[in-house]
A and B are shown apart, each in its own frame.
Chain A
Amino acid sequence: MSRYSAWQIVKQGLTGNKSWEPAWRDASPKSSYDVIIIGGGGHGLATAYYLAKNHGITNVAVIEKGWIGGGNAGRNTTIVRSNYFMEGNTEFYEHSLKLWENLSQELNYNVMFSQRGHLNLFFTPGQRDAMIRKYNIMRLNGIDGELLDRDQLMSKVPHLNYSQEARLPILGALYQGRAGTARHDAVNWGYARAASNLGVDIIQNCEVTGFISNGGQLVGVETSRGEIRAEKVGMAVAGSTSLLAHKAGLGRLPIESHKLQAFVSEPIKPFLDSVVVYGVGHGHFYISQSDKGGMVFGGNLDGYNSYAQKGNLPLYTDVASCAMNMMPALGRVKLLRQWAGIMDMSMDGSPFITKTDINGLYLNAGWCYGGFKATPASGWCFAHTIAHDAPHDVNKLLTLDRYKTGHMLDESGHGPYPKSH
């Protein structure tokens, strides 16, 4: 396939844009592969790409029950950051951020990662101090992060609600400058195209209906398009992990499926440069502005187990009031679209990239609502884990048995209540 470049665009433009090739091959399943990745979201596609690129394993199929990038990979609020403080998370998300920084060049696809900075607001001294602990850990691990007082914050984002009459006046923010946003669809398509270029088969409209084992060893999957054999099978189906895990015989997992709503406004001229986030008490809010001009925002989970990709009204009010509290100029900006995704909520808010008790079956799950930013490192680590049958140092703590041994990665301290993370 030809490389994308400005020259290509000019050439195609002059000839009527008639000879563009498919971005990726829409493959039909072969009878067998070295590795099958179930799930054509960002994580699955990235895994296939890194299997081919880093480990030379190119006889790989990504099988997707619908269209690639149709799950959470295409429904998120596109924030990329690495402000984590628990050993196991910190190095993983920073590894991801580093991959993001050169992802467009690596994939020859503009994923529009824009390092416009991420501001985490605080309203009380206690909140500030807890956040400083996190950012100190980041700094000691070579990750950027700084404290902004109210005046510094004001010069960065002048139109937040700085009124002393606010219910909780803003005291300041912690800032990660290398964080930002990316274009979610581009990430999916970019990985798909790059993986396809390396020989990976991307198979859409192919639903896994069962798993084939031979004496305790997984040897393939049954799908709506027939049986497909493979030596190794990786699952990257956040949102539906439990359903497939039951089919695979993994049994019950420490995961609940919960619904998270997202919102976008009509496009307006540049209004907000950075990503702004806060969480205080029951209030939780994050917002950024897309390149198209829409304000992209969201808040808490709806709070009850759900597989329904649709929202409910109490969260509208919750999220809108958080928006108005922080940025009261948004009152007359209009909500254009609301949607919902199904999150794999794990019991400590942190993910799993790991081997399983079933030989040949690997699990990538439990992303809660942090999966988008993790996409590159998740694929990178999952590919390593599958290729070597052992985790990389970067994901060695993201195991499924960590609750059994008491090694939780609980960034929020909420305990084993998935709806709270």
Chain B
Amino acid sequence: MLRLDCPVCGLRDHDEFTYLEDGSITYPKLTNENQDDWFDAVYLRENPRGRHVEKWHHTFGCRTVLLVERDTLTHVIGKIKPAHPKIAAALKQPATAKKRS
């Protein structure tokens, strides 16, 4: 069981989450009409053995999309933060009470 420390909900089993995809993918802007750029983002993967930043969605929790650093060989979990920069910033503010359960 991977144990993910959700910045909103606390330490939880990974089966509360939905694995989305490689978090390093940069999707082109919608206005970008270049097929190769889209092909790159949608189809090609670095697929590293080792450090991997990936997107997980806390489906049976706060429904936040998280960027999780994880080693694909050892499954050791590193830093976890919300993918949305504003949510990440809001959680960083000391005034925001962090709820753990």
Q: Which residues of A contact B (CB under 8 A)?
A: 240, 242-243, 251-257, 303-308, 312-314, 347, 403-404, 416-419
Contact of A308 among B15, B42, B75 (CB under 8 A): B75
Which residues of chain A have C-beta atoms less than 8 A from B31's C-beta?
none
Extra pairs beyond A251-B44, A416-B42 (12, CB < 8 Å): A242-B47, A252-B47, A303-B19, A304-B54, A305-B72, A306-B73, A307-B73, A312-B14, A347-B43, A404-B36, A404-B39, A417-B21
B22 at the interface (CB under 8 A from A): yes
Q: Are B15 and A314 closer than 8 Å at their CB atoms?
A: yes
B2 at the interface (CB under 8 A from A): yes
Q: Are A256 and B45 closer than 8 Å at their CB atoms?
A: yes
Distance of B14 from chain A, by nearest CB (Å): 7
CA of A347 to CA of B21, assembled, Å: 12
Q: Are A304 and B47 closer than 8 Å at their CB atoms?
A: no
Which residues of chain B have C-beta atoms less than 8 A from A252's C-beta?
40, 44-47
CA of A218 to CA of B53, assembled, Å: 33
User: For this complex, into which size category does the number of interface residues on chain B fall?
Assistant: 20 to 34
Mostly helix, strand, loop or mixed at chain A's interface? mixed
Which residues of chain B have C-beta atoms less than 8 A from A242's C-beta?
45-48
Q: Which residue from chain B places its CB closest to the CB of A315 in the assembled complex?
A: B15
Which residues of chain B have C-beta atoms less than 8 A from A240's C-beta?
49
CA of A312 to CA of B74, assembled, Å: 12
Which residues of chain B have C-beta atoms less than 8 A from A418's C-beta?
45
Which residues of chain B have C-beta atoms less than 8 A from A308's C-beta?
72-75
Q: Are A312 and B43 closer than 8 Å at their CB atoms?
A: no
With contacts A304-B54, A308-B73, A314-B15 known, is A253 near B47, CB below 8 A? yes
Q: Which residue from chain B places its CB closest to the CB of A401 in the assembled complex?
A: B39
Q: Are B13 and A419 closer than 8 Å at their CB atoms?
A: no
Contact of A314 among B13, B72, B74 (CB under 8 A): B13
| A-B pairs with beta carbons under 8 Å apart, 29 shown | A242-B45, A242-B46, A243-B49, A251-B44, A253-B47, A255-B47, A256-B22, A256-B47, A257-B47, A304-B14, A304-B19, A304-B70, A305-B22, A306-B72, A306-B73, A306-B75, A308-B72, A308-B73, A308-B74, A308-B75, A312-B14, A314-B1, A314-B13, A314-B15, A347-B43, A404-B36, A404-B39, A418-B45, A419-B19
In the complex, which of the residues B35, B48, B54 has the most CB atoms of chain A within 10 Å of its own CB atom? B48
Q: Which residues of B contact A (CB under 8 A)?
A: 1-2, 13-15, 19, 21-22, 35-36, 39-40, 42-49, 52, 54, 70, 72-75
Q: Are A403 and B46 closer than 8 Å at their CB atoms?
A: no
CA of A252 to CA of B39, assembled, Å: 12
CA of A403 to CA of B42, assembled, Å: 10
CA of A303 to CA of B52, assembled, Å: 15
Q: Which residue from chain A places its CB closest to the CB of B42 in the assembled complex?
A: A416
Mostly helix, strand, loop or mixed at chain B's interface? mixed
CA of A307 to CA of B13, assembled, Å: 20
Which residues of chain A have C-beta atoms less than 8 A from B72's C-beta?
257, 305-308
Q: Are B45 and A255 closer than 8 Å at their CB atoms?
A: yes
CA of A201 to CA of B41, assembled, Å: 41
Q: Which residue from chain B places its CB closest to the CB of A314 in the assembled complex?
A: B15
CA of A242 to CA of B54, assembled, Å: 17
Distance of A39 from chain B, by nearest CB (Å): 16
CA of A303 to CA of B16, assembled, Å: 13
Which residues of chain B have C-beta atoms less than 8 A from A243's C-beta?
47, 49
Which residues of chain A have C-beta atoms less than 8 A from B43's C-beta?
254, 347, 403-404, 416
CA of A313 to CA of B42, assembled, Å: 30
Which residues of chain B have C-beta atoms less than 8 A from A403's C-beta?
39, 43
Query: Which 8 pairs, one residue from A and one from B, show the smallest C-beta to C-beta distance?
Result: A242-B47, A252-B44, A304-B19, A314-B15, A307-B49, A254-B43, A403-B43, A307-B73
Q: Which residue from chain B places its CB closest to the CB of A306 in the assembled complex?
A: B72
CA of A119 to CA of B45, assembled, Å: 35
Which residues of chain A have C-beta atoms less than 8 A from B73's C-beta?
306-308
Q: Which residue from chain B places its CB closest to the CB of A317 in the assembled complex?
A: B15
Q: Are A254 and B44 closer than 8 Å at their CB atoms?
A: yes
Which residues of chain B have C-beta atoms less than 8 A from A256's C-beta?
22, 45, 47
Contact of B1 among A251, A254, A313, A416 (CB under 8 A): A313
Which residues of chain B have C-beta atoms less than 8 A from A404's C-beta?
35-36, 39, 43
Which residues of chain A have C-beta atoms less than 8 A from B42's C-beta?
416
Distance of A319 from chain B, by nearest CB (Å): 13
Distance of A65 from chain B, by nearest CB (Å): 13
CA of A12 to CA of B53, assembled, Å: 58
Which residues of chain B have C-beta atoms less than 8 A from A312's C-beta?
1-2, 14
CA of A345 to CA of B21, assembled, Å: 13
In the complex, which of the residues B13, B15, B40, B52 has the most CB atoms of chain A within 10 Å of its own CB atom? B15
